[in-house]
Structure 1
């Protein structure tokens, strides 16, 4: 009786072991298949059409029925479809490794029992099923990339470009269940049940993920860095949105999104994603200070109480306005984040020359306009970009300009240095020689006593008002053949200190302003091409005869307001040469007692000012002639036998004129009486 009981117990124990072994094998086989498909294997293949093993490829760790089963060759005649293994669990409920069990297989002289799984050669997995050997060979998925590499322990190559991780040819280990159609196992396989000769699923997956991440980090670092620099703000915004929303990057060919971090289905381990690593965002500059605003490509910080240039990083910025702050220095790195600036306004700050770094402006390769008015500079900043077209350093403390101060500024068109301490003693004659394009120069409110030497050949407009200039020599404008405008008002010039040949031969000089000097007569030897002469605020008491006679095509604008002209100071031929050209004549605020001779002959005169004099009457033919003589008719074909002139405005107010005694023919040539100003008049 006791012996029968023992036999029954042994039989039950054997049956129980068979059931457990069967469950372990099915789970182990399913896991092996999922790992193979994650490497790009097809769902099924024939043992008779196996892909050749990749050269240099290491075989995956075999999963065998016993620790000592070697790698063996399988007869090519044995055929089978590996997908049929999916249904094996339903066909037979037991799995035995005990000797004598029916259905075992023979391979290379060795006995392998039913349900045994082994790898006879690299990337080939076989199964013993009821005496038949069924094998599955790894077939690599085709790659769409220029170059590939074969990671250690893998059957299939991968793209060598880390950026190709988003390509559909590289399949994540986490997506294999979706591609294969397998349903995830509900029963976890304990690591202790795996044979010691094989790697665990967790170890292999961890190794694969580590290798892929390390490779992609090394290969993709440079490319990611270039993309970040090229995309700028857009890249940073995308990265912020990605990090904030915790959303993955979709990959082509996958039906579901991946999360940045996965929890493995077998062991719950936190895993890094197999695709490219998340790029590190560049460090963003702090926001603009209070009082600053942005409009398109311009940042404006006017009167924002800044003490330094704000740290800005925006390569699209072209204009920066920092007017009216308390900035004292400009470091070498101040504009590194905004290298494409074209215009900078730093006016009305407290910037000093020692506070400007020697390379502060060197990075600005596109700078065209630089305004530094109202600071504390004692010399022109060094290393200015050669692209500059306009510089303003008015109202500073500049006390010298040497031959290197303006070097390399060959594109400079406008230079303004007004309100400084410059003079002929501290401005080198070679200071302006590098300026090959300069046409507009302002040196007003300085200490010059003569016209600066070495003016550029290209100069067209020169402003020297509010200096102490006493002389205009013959050599001042020898090389400036293109000069068009000269402004010398508020100086100390006398007519005999202007050399006869100073500017008489200048063919392009059209405007001279000699207001508020010490002139007693209208200067002689004026340029032949002169059109615009301003002599306001001198002590002129005489207009010499024929002084305008040599001018061609003739003077058009003559301003003699606020002088000391009398009736004796204007000769009948004083305006000779300007009769047919003069358009505006200002003789107001003088000491005239009558309307000067010659005005009635000015055929193109439109604006006449005689107000604030001592005029008592207007004779009928002094402004408007009733008819022209025969000689005059021959000279003017436009106005034959007509009494009309082109006068549009006549000012005679603040004189001593009795308007009731004026002749009705005094203003007969004027088109509208509304253009004649006669009131108020002074009381006798």
Structure 2
């Protein structure tokens, strides 16, 4: 008997706890779970684990490849092995700027930027981290399902379209009906709330009124006189409303089927074929017909004609369309009236066509008063189109044949944030110093793969990121960045810069410059007079033989990422003062593919160092005091150490050489060269 009572008591406690947990909303439980995982991930043992356990969300962690540098094919083969090491992490794909930008496959994403790398996946740049969320698909109750073109979730096949309409909302792709469904749910919930309020008001009536209501009902039993609980009332209302909803859906579907039978002769393309029927006065996408050329498709407010073999811009009249994709065709001209029927376009993609400057009408873009993004990459333009909309925020004219930029080429584009003009024929000789003056909001400028010999003059004061890779730049003068106090990232890889051609006052006083890439230039020493605010320095593929003493000593708060791979550093090229000023701040040090014969001095004093690459050198011996400080008992912050492809005899390494490193699995010693 006692055991039975005890069992019942435990069962009651279990049910109570379970009920309390169920009362916590789903979003709140997700937040609690996220906080717990965040706390656990910041513990010393898991400091390198950047993957947070958010349901359906992952943080993209870059592998140990060089991010800012695009290697040629010979170099790329050498770095394929880096991704094979489990748990290897590097900050190559994270720009440490204050704006929290993310670098994804060579493209810089601004903080809070949202994009879709593949169907069913949406990514967000959040303070330097890439968060990706996968779309959840509703299960289907039909034997045959298909995934529509451009969609991500399965829907019932054409043979199953006559299924009962009460399952209609489960068969729809979420990205096409999501907003309409959310609005309808909000409307239904608001009506239910009003009815529940009316019920509560009836409950609060005076006892006399309740008695009067009971006197009017004859033959009521005691059980009937008791009021139903709130949950039962709400459930009953939901069932009644669901029944009415199903009846209305059946009526509307029958009406739509009748309309389709009448319109079978024309066979139009319907832009709202998946839209749910609406019974409320809420706004919905306009219902109508639109004829599209073959090879084109229509999604919600987007017409896509990618690789549709078009030779001209199709005549379209659709004021509700916001996005038009015409890339990969054979379009050669844009007449003045090309976009008259699309006045509300916000994004226009004309890349990879045969458009010439002479084929663009002077008023071709004049009526596009809402256009924000224009892509004309891969055409035959020799000049920037005239009279572009002042609303533009992004303009891409990469891989064309631009011959000049005059003072009026970019006039009235005071809202432009991103300008990309890579792979053209631009130089300081044909770019007017006043060309960038109208660009009051420009923060991202790409001028790579051109013919500049000096840094372009007249850069706007608002510029934050400047990309000038693959040019012929030989020097950096004192006046190059005089008016660019906000500049944060400068990329100058694949140029002809020598350290003695960098003026002492070129950028040393910049307060926001945190990332410089001088890879694949003609540097023999690490440059002096680097910016005080520098955090991220990339010097790959030069001929650097020496790191001068105190070259980082003036930096505040201190250099964090130093990449010196593929140079000519040897033991005589660095000493203990070479890293002075960075001992407290340096987090990643890459010295692989050099000529080092021993561990560089001062490694054990680098308090913040967690990623060290010394692989592919000529190191033969490792002394215990070179990695771990014998005078300190604390564990080192070093979490990734690469020493493979040297001449180390692994069996001769003393057992206490790596005693300060928490996990031996983070030490890579094999394979070694034999000589």
Question: Please, what TM-score do these two structures have when normalized by structure 2?
Answer: 0.58
Q: Tell me the residue number matched to 1:342.
A: 346
Candidates 587, 594, 606, aligned match of 1:602? 606
Query: For 1:446 and 1:570, how far apart are their aligned partners in 2?
Result: 36
CA distances 1:292-344 after superposition (whole Å, capped 9, x unpaired): 11110001111110101111110000001111000101111010001100000
CA distances 1:642-671 after superposition (whole Å, capped 9, x unpaired): 331111100000000000000112111111
CA distances 1:446-493 after superposition (whole Å, capped 9, x unpaired): 000000000000000000000000010000000000000000000000
Residues 375, 663 of structure 1: CA spacing in aligned structure 2 closer, same or farther, 3 A cutoff? same
SS of aligned partner of 1:574: helix
Q: Tell me the residue number matched to 1:413.
A: 417
Query: For 2:400 and 2:521, how far apart are their aligned partners in 1?
Result: 26
CA-CA distance at 1:603 after TM superposition: 0.5
Q: Tell me the residue number matched to 1:530.
A: 534
CA distances 1:411-457 after superposition (whole Å, capped 9, x unpaired): 00000000000000000000000000000000000000000000000
Residue 393 in structure 1 maps to residue 397 in structure 2: yes
Query: For 1:665 and 1:529, how far apart are their aligned partners in 2?
Result: 38
Candidates 383, 402, 415, aligned match of 1:379? 383
Residues 661, 336 of structure 1: CA spacing in aligned structure 2 closer, same or farther, 3 A cutoff? same
Q: Tell me the residue number matched to 2:657.
A: 666
Q: Tell me the residue number matched to 2:642.
A: 651
Candidates 588, 591, 600, aligned match of 1:587? 591
CA-CA distance at 1:243 after TM superposition: 14
Q: Tell me the residue number matched to 1:622.
A: 626
Query: For 2:290 and 2:298, how far apart are their aligned partners in 1?
Result: 14
Candidates 507, 513, 521, aligned match of 2:511? 507
Confirm or deny: 8 A CA contact 1:542 1:565 kept in the other structure.
yes
Query: For 2:610 and 2:351, how far apart are their aligned partners in 1?
Result: 42
SS of aligned partner of 2:321: coil
SS of aligned partner of 2:419: strand
Q: How does 1:206-605 map to 2 (within 5 A)?
A: 287-605=291-609
Query: For 1:318 and 1:513, how far apart are their aligned partners in 2?
Result: 38
Query: For 1:610 and 1:547, how far apart are their aligned partners in 2?
Result: 21
Query: For 1:682 and 1:427, how far apart are their aligned partners in 2?
Result: 52
Q: How does 1:111-190 map to 2 (within 5 A)?
A: none
Structure in which a larger fraction of residues adopt helix: 2
Residues 660, 292 of structure 1: CA spacing in aligned structure 2 closer, same or farther, 3 A cutoff? same
Query: For 2:526 and 2:260, how far apart are their aligned partners in 1?
Result: 79
Confirm or deny: 8 A CA contact 1:627 1:643 kept in the other structure.
no
SS of aligned partner of 1:660: helix
Q: Tell me the residue number matched to 1:118.
A: none
Residues 585, 244 of structure 1: CA spacing in aligned structure 2 closer, same or farther, 3 A cutoff? closer
CA distances 1:511-569 after superposition (whole Å, capped 9, x unpaired): 00000000000000000000000000000000000000000000000000000000000
How many residues are treated as equivalent by the alignment? Answer: 396
Query: For 1:243 and 1:648, how far apart are their aligned partners in 2?
Result: 68
CA distances 1:271-306 after superposition (whole Å, capped 9, x unpaired): xxxxxxxxxxxxx99721111111100011111101
SS of aligned partner of 2:626: helix
Q: How does 1:194-205 map to 2 (within 5 A)?
A: none
Confirm or deny: 8 A CA contact 1:484 1:510 kept in the other structure.
yes
CA distances 1:2-30 after superposition (whole Å, capped 9, x unpaired): xxxxxxxxxxxxxxxxxxxxxxxxxxxxx
Gapped regions of structure 1 (runs ≥ 5): 1-236, 246-283, 629-641
Question: Please, what TM-score do these two structures have when normalized by structure 1?
Answer: 0.57
Q: Tell me the residue number matched to 1:183.
A: none
Query: For 1:621 and 1:413, how far apart are their aligned partners in 2?
Result: 51
Query: For 1:643 and 1:601, how far apart are their aligned partners in 2?
Result: 12
SS of aligned partner of 1:294: strand
CA distances 1:88-115 after superposition (whole Å, capped 9, x unpaired): xxxxxxxxxxxxxxxxxxxxxxxxxxxx
Query: For 1:627 and 1:242, how far apart are their aligned partners in 2?
Result: 84
CA-CA distance at 1:244 after TM superposition: 6.6
Query: For 2:631 and 2:661, how far apart are their aligned partners in 1?
Result: 14
Q: Return structure 1 stretches of 4+ with deviation > 3 angstroms.
A: 240-245
Query: For 2:351 and 2:623, how far apart are their aligned partners in 1?
Result: 57
SS of aligned partner of 1:486: strand
Confirm or deny: 8 A CA contact 1:285 1:312 kept in the other structure.
no
CA-CA distance at 1:683 after TM superposition: 0.7
Please, what is the CA RMSD of the aligned residues?
1.8
Confirm or deny: 8 A CA contact 1:624 1:643 kept in the other structure.
no
Query: For 1:682 and 1:426, how far apart are their aligned partners in 2?
Result: 53
